[in-house]
Amino acid sequence: MLDDSLAFITRGYDFGAHIWSRTRDGARAVPLRLLGKPALLVRGEEGVRLFYDQSKVRRHGAMPAFIQQSLFGNGSVHSLDGDEHRHRKATFVDALYEDEQVERMLPLLEREWGDALAAWVDGGRGSAYDTAVGVFGRASMEWAGLPGTAAAKTRWAVRQAQIVDGFGALYSPEYLRALGNRVWSDRHAQRLIEAVRAGSLDAAEGTALHAWAWHRDAAGRPLPSRVAGVELQNSFRPMIAVARFVAFAAKELHDRPEWRERIATETEQRGSLVGGPLARAFAQEVRRTAPFVPMLPGWATTDVSLDGEQLAAGGRVLIDVLGTDTDDRSWERAGEFDPERFVDVDDYEALTAFIPHGGADVRTGHRCPGEKLAIAGLAAAVAALSDPRVRVLDEGLEVNRRRLPTKPRSGVLVGRCPFH
């Protein structure tokens, strides 16, 4: 079997479709070879159940080192499994996932997106992506308990966004920039942790800064300050990464004026940019059709099989994230962009084949604990972008599907509507 590593680099988000074309329609698993090792690409509900079965698949060491080092940071929770992972993950759940944490974020999102909307209405023009980086950076850092001015938070948010933007571009100078921003950010976050521990910086209880400064491992030992700083960033950087979803949301709103009108009416009636059910449904459909990465890797710890295909222990198991989120057997009209499918769906975690932020249980598995925050932030952005006083321009809407991660080329430009 030929190695498919080069095909992954050259095809990006279309790699999964390329591999599935080798097998029968509706297959749940297909063998391939990556980086010289046998692998199994899986999809759909059956694939999700296999990939997140920790008795059969582990994540530790599966992510290529160049991604782990640049995007998540050395020693982060993403590289752990078993009891160690569950113990560290519990702090993330407390700091990010609980409903009271989402409630703390909502007024910050309301304020920041309200200011962004006012700037657009006043004649400002910029990309939805760049605006979202600043909005989410300022909101999430304040929510996390970090000190600093709004301008300082915006500058750090830009660095964090570039880490996300460059992690997959190993062949590009952007990857070297990402490594440089990672070094700077790790040092800065480490100093914040050390300042809290030394008593020279207050960290309010309930914030991510407090949680990671005083986190203890299962043996009761504090994390090294560098690792605690890495996890502090992993508490707020995912929110900044949602800016990519905002760019895709702006593109979809541009193409669907009827949805912009519906969401604008909802927002006006509710008198708030946050919490709108239609805006939330639209946000969920954006996440389904434009997931952050096309797939995620794991190692088979025992011989595994799915849909007639076998993989020996030690081989890679890959979950096709995009292929699962758009799987014909899991979704009606899977290839259509239709937010109606998420209207009145409150328990989205019960949708096994909906994994834009990972799958399985938040507390015991690898599902992202910041998912509820991401949805709240994206829905607020959708509401702001639907305001009839602003116009979503049609410049640079094309998407390079080979690049990881990707977004519309211009970030989607937004400006004042001349008719309002």
Q: Parse the chain into domains and list their residue ranges.
A: 66-292+335-416
Q: At a CB cut-off of 8 Å and minimum separation 6, what does 406 contact?
A: 12, 13, 244, 399, 400
Cα dihedral 84, 354, 318, 242 in deg (nearest 10): -70
**Strands ordered across the beta sheet of 413-416:** 126-127, 413-416, 390-392
- pLDDT tens for the chain, 420 residues long, are 689 999 998 999 999 999 999 999 999 999 999 989 999 999 999 999 999 998 999 987 777 766 766 677 677 776 667 788 788 889 999 999 999 999 999 999 999 999 999 999 999 889 999 999 999 999 999 999 999 999 999 999 999 999 999 887 777 788 889 999 999 999 999 999 999 999 999 999 999 999 999 999 989 999 999 999 999 999 999 999 999 999 999 999 999 999 999 999 999 999 999 999 999 999 999 999 999 999 999 999 999 999 999 999 999 999 999 999 999 999 999 999 999 999 999 999 999 999 999 898 888 777 889 999 999 999 999 999 999 999 999 999 999 999 989 999 999 999 997 766
Question: What does the alpha-carbon distance between residue 357 and residue 293 come to, in Å, rounded to a whole number?
Answer: 9
pLDDT at 74: 72
Question: What does the alpha-carbon distance between residue 336 and residue 341 come to, in Å, rounded to a whole number?
Answer: 10
User: Using CB atoms within 10 A of its CB, is residue 393 exposed (0-12), middle (13-18) or buried (19+)?
Assistant: middle
Q: At a CB cut-off of 8 Å and minimum separation 6, what does 36 contact?
A: 3
- Do the beta carbons of residue 151 and residue 137 sit within 8 Å? no
- Do the beta carbons of residue 272 and residue 323 sit within 8 Å? no
pLDDT at 365: 74
CA distances from 211 to 76, 172, 193, 246, 260 (A): 15, 36, 10, 28, 39
The partner residues of 399 in beta bridges, in order of sequence, read 408
Residue 222 DSSP label? B
Stated as kind and residue range, the H or E segment containing 1 is none
Instruction: Please give the CATH superfamily to which domain 66-292+335-416 belongs.
Output: Cytochrome P450 (1.10.630.10)
pLDDT at 167: 80
3-class state of residue 84 by DSSP: helix
Place of tokens 């993403």: 78
Question: What does the alpha-carbon distance between residue 232 and residue 247 come to, in Å, rounded to a whole number?
Answer: 25
pTM of the entire predicted model: 0.95
Q: At a CB cut-off of 8 Å and minimum separation 6, what does 330 contact?
A: 44, 45, 324, 352, 353
pLDDT at 85: 78
